[in-house]
Amino acid sequence: MHRTRNVPADAKRGRALRRVKIVGEPEATSWVARTLSASGVLVECHDEHDVIDPRFFNYWPLVWVARPDAFGRGFARLRPALLDVAPQTPPCLVVVPPGVEITDELVRRIPVKLFELVRERDEGPLLAMRLERLLLLGHENAIMEPLRSEAKRNDILASIAHASRDSLDLEEVLGAATSLLGKRFTANSVEIWFLNEDATSCTVFMDSREGDESSSLVGYERPLPDSEPFRALVASREPYVVANRSELDPSSLAFSALEELGAMSLVGIPIHREGELMGVLGMSWAEPRAFPPDEIVFFGRVADQLAIAIRAARLYGNLQEQLEALALEQRRRELADRDRSRLTAMLVHDMKNPLSALTAALELTRDKERRSGDERLAKMLDGSLASARGLQGLIEDALLVYRAADAPETEKRPTTPAEALSLPLEEARWLAVARRVTVETDVPKDLPKVSLDPAMFRRAAANLFGNAVKFSPPGGVVHVKAEIVLDDGRPFLRVSVTDSGPGFPAAEKSRIATPYLRFQGSETVPGTGLGLTVVQKVLQAHRGRLDVANNDGPGATFTLWIPA
């Protein structure tokens, strides 16, 4: 119900119509209404019980009128009603009766930001002007307040985004977020609850409380059935709002939980992303509080930002776990490889000495039988000796391949190429006779000496010669040539081996020195796959190189280059 006062006709002349709604107790509004009406202002007076509909604020300017002695009664009752329908309280005229002193204490009791103090009757002529100024300020505030509010909210979102960008520590990010929200919204508490994997309980991950650090509930696990509102929020994924605890059933768990928090109002916002519910953001306040729709939307944006931070932290955590698992597996493999290499090196080293003794015994026995004229037994001993030398070569190859990275430098000494190549050529000829392959050599005896580790060099040459013989077909020819040449002005010992085999796949050229590598089609050719690995090891020790090329016809040419 409202009362409208008519504006006198003469008061309308020469001026625009002004109108205003006044809300308050009749004893406070009567003098204000009479004075404004006399000034030509159209006035609607409303009882505080009329303020129940948001549309009440849509049309006319609103002034809230109260006396200082009413702040503890009608004023206090009116404020929650206004907060229920409008996020911002309207401008307030505080009418001071004659004889009442205006003190700092009186001003501090006024619970609104925008107000004007007017003294009853004494300031009647100035009341319209005071009202215009008040409404003008209220209009500016109405424009600026949403902008300030939006700026504050954007700043909060940006701060949370920066925290999640600068750190992947979830506790640090969420701690910063809860502290920021608590301070900016003067909240009683800010909590983030994580839904546990079994979906039957939740755990407080971060808890910020105003002025009481000891009351933190971080790590506290709570069964979902104990909280109907929480379970409803989890099920619906819609915000849960309590504007005033007094509106709840005093026997309900929600009422008890708010009472335990010391809160009168609360909002719970689900934190979810891409169909996954991660948890709930909960904020409470010590006083009853309205939650306008735009603020609920903002809290939802905060929850979205938190969901992104949580997802990023989880992905980072999973990545770290996988990297640690891979690193652990790599360490295990390295240890296993090292142990295997040590065991292999130990075994082949221990086999070398008795095999050397056996080879020497076979050579002495063969020479004796040839002197005695028993050629049949001498040939048998030749075959045994070739097998022993082949096995000895395999052992020496294994020792080279599994040579420790910190092994001492090889001992090189001036050696003639013909001397270094004599034994590998002899072994290649024995093998060639068995496979019906011809070995042609061009190794001048007068070639100058070259600094070599003779034993290592013999193994490289033996492997190249042996491969050439094994891959050449019966009736094929293997040609070996050694010479000193200049390359870029520097002298090199160049040893080339040309076979008449099938050649090698051009695509595999970069992998020819890979241990145990066997090219397709070489399955029927005996060997371990270590031959070219040994060659590469020897050349590295001599700072040389290996060139490989397929011939124009069948076969391939392998060329050793060693600085002379």
pLDDT above 50 (res 132): yes
CATH fold group of domain 2-148: Rossmann fold (3.40.50)
C-alpha count within 13 angstroms, C-beta hemisphere, residue 513: 16
Q: Which residues contact 476 (CB under 8 A, 6 or more apart)?
A: 437, 438, 499, 500, 501, 555
Four-residue CA torsion sign, 450, 452, 454, 457: negative
| CA pair distance 433, 466, nearest whole angstrom | 12
| Per-residue confidence (pLDDT) for residue 214, from 0 to 100 | 47
pLDDT above 50 (res 12): no
pLDDT above 50 (res 77): yes
Report which of residues 394 and 233 the model is more confident about. Answer: 233
Report which of residues 419 and 115 the model is more confident about. Answer: 419
Burial 505-516 (b: 16+ CB within 10 A, else e): eeeeeeebbeee
Report which of residues 458 and 211 the model is more confident about. Answer: 458
| CA pair distance 37, 19, nearest whole angstrom | 9
Among 423, 482, 492, which residue's Cα sits nearest to residue 454?
423
pLDDT tens across 504-530, in order? 777 676 666 666 566 655 555 655 667
Interval 94-101 mean pLDDT? 80
| Per-residue confidence (pLDDT) for residue 497, from 0 to 100 | 95
- The two structure tokens encoding residue 176: 């910063």
3-state secondary structure (DSSP) of residue 14: coil
Model confidence, pTM:
0.45
Name the one residue in this structure whose structure tokens are 């009341």: 127
Rounded percentage of the chain residues whose pLDDT exceeds 90: 16
Four-residue CA torsion sign, 237, 243, 244, 249: negative
Neighbours of 54 (CB within 10 A): 11
Q: Return the minimum-mean-pLDDT range out of 21-35, 135-149, 224-238, 269-283.
A: 135-149
Contact 246, 264 (CB under 8 A): yes
Which strand (E) or helix (H) includes residue 201?
strand 201-209
3-state secondary structure (DSSP) of residue 120: coil
Provide the mean pLDDT of the chain. 77
| CA pair distance 444, 232, nearest whole angstrom | 96
| CA pair distance 86, 53, nearest whole angstrom | 9
Binned at pLDDT 50, 70 and 90, residue 143 comes out as low
CA 262 and chain centroid, separation: 39
| The three-state (H, E, C) secondary structure of 469-487, written as one string | HHHCCCCCEEEEEEEEEEE
pLDDT above 70 (res 22): yes
- The two structure tokens encoding residue 209: 């409380």
| Per-residue confidence (pLDDT) for residue 67, from 0 to 100 | 79
Interval 35-62 mean pLDDT? 74
pLDDT above 80 (res 251): yes
Which CA distances in Å does 389 have to 53, 319, 428, 474? 107, 53, 11, 23
Report which of residues 513 and 438 the model is more confident about. Answer: 438
Contact 458, 524 (CB under 8 A): no
Q: Return the minimum-mean-pLDDT range out of 265-279, 282-296, 328-342.
A: 328-342
- The two structure tokens encoding residue 34: 């009479």
In this structure, what DSSP letter does residue 114 have?
S
Q: Return the minimum-mean-pLDDT range out of 41-45, 97-101, 272-276, 460-464.
A: 97-101
Among 314, 242, 232, which residue's Cα sits nearest to residue 273?
314
Q: What's the farthest any 2 CA atoms get from each other in the chain? A: 157
In this structure, what DSSP letter does residue 103 have?
-
Angle among Cα 61, 64, 66 to the nearest 5 degrees reads 155
pLDDT tens across 154-200, in order? 888 888 888 877 777 888 888 888 888 888 888 888 888 887 766 66
| CA pair distance 289, 185, nearest whole angstrom | 11
Highest mean pLDDT among 10-14, 139-143, 313-317: 313-317
pLDDT above 60 (res 212): no
CA 448 and chain centroid, separation: 63
| CA pair distance 270, 268, nearest whole angstrom | 7
Report which of residues 63 and 70 the model is more confident about. Answer: 63
pLDDT tens across 355-407, in order? 666 666 676 776 777 677 777 776 677 667 666 666 666 666 666 666 655 55
pLDDT above 90 (res 553): no
Tell me the residue type at 163: A
**Candidate CATH numbers 3.30.565.10, 3.40.50.300, 3.30.70.980, 3.90.800.10; the one for domain 408-563:** 3.30.565.10
pLDDT tens across 280-315, in order? 899 999 888 888 888 899 999 999 999 988 888 888
| CA pair distance 235, 239, nearest whole angstrom | 11
Contact 65, 92 (CB under 8 A): yes
Superfamily of domain 167-291 in CATH is GAF domain (3.30.450.40)
Among 180, 160, 185, which residue's Cα sits nearest to residue 170?
160
pLDDT above 90 (res 444): yes
| Per-residue confidence (pLDDT) for residue 419, from 0 to 100 | 92
Q: Return the minimum-mean-pLDDT range out of 9-18, 306-315, 354-363, 460-469.
A: 9-18
